[in-house]
């Protein structure tokens, strides 16, 4: 079962013994897990009258949104699998997850930046609220971007620590 495969021990790298933890591993896991909100949040927020069931939208646009929501949902599941279950080089799995989340966030921010080119709007006042004076999507995706940057920071530290450990092991 999946529950039986969950490994909550500190993660070894490919070249480290099983009892040698990677520094910052749990922080990285938790940050990337929080980052998975970006994949699942829209399933709850965008399936109602504001988006997927919006009668004002043409059917073909709703098909594309349904497709995107499905892709995001399964991307979230894949991310959680890479973060918590898949064995092997787990540091590499966390890097793939960070890259995947980064691609998703870059897609959001590029859509926001290019919205004037295609008549897009970040806010529909009928359905969106503001948090601390910031449109909810920009606020949430801003927080998710900060979370991802923190995860990348700790990934870089973990990679540096793993590289230093390999050098020390080779010199001994």
The residue ranking higher by pLDDT, 171 or 70, is 70
Q: Which residue has the tokens 């004037």?
A: 116
- Supply the pTM of this predicted model: 0.81
Residue 141 vs residues 7, 40, 105: alpha-carbon distances, Å: 29, 13, 7
DSSP per-residue string spanning 80-109: HHHHHT--S-HHHHHHHHHHHHHHHHHHHH
Q: Which residue has the tokens 């948090």?
A: 131
pLDDT in tens, 117-162: 999 998 888 888 899 999 999 999 999 999 999 999 999 998 887 7
In 3D, which of 67, 63, 73, 64 has the Cα closest to residue 42? 73
pLDDT in tens, 8-18: 544 444 444 44
Say how many residues make up the chain.
172
Strands (E), 12-160: 130-131, 134-135
Residue 23 token pair: 């520094």
Helix (H, G, I), strand (E, B) or coil at 12: coil
């Amino acid at each position: 079962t999946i529950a039986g495969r969950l490994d909550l021990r500190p993660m070894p790298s490919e070249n480290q013994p099983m009892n040698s933890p990677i520094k910052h591993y749990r922080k990285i896991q938790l940050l990337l897990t929080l980052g998975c909100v970006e994949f699942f949040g829209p399933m709850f927020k965008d399936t109602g009258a504001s988006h997927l069931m919006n009668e004002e939208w043409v059917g073909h646009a709703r098909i594309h949104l349904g497709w995107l929501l499905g892709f995001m949902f399964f991307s979230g599941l894949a991310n959680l699998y890479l973060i918590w279950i898949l064995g092997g080089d787990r540091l590499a799995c966390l890097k793939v997850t960070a890259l995947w989340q980064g691609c998703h966030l870059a897609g959001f921010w590029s859509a926001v930046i290019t919205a004037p080119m295609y008549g897009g709007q970040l806010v529909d006042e009928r359905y969106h609220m503001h948090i601390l004076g910031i449109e909810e999507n920009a606020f949430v995706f801003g927080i998710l971007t900060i979370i991802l940057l923190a995860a990348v920071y700790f990934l870089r530290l973990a990679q540096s620590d793993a590289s230093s450990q390999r050098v020390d092991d080779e010199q001994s």
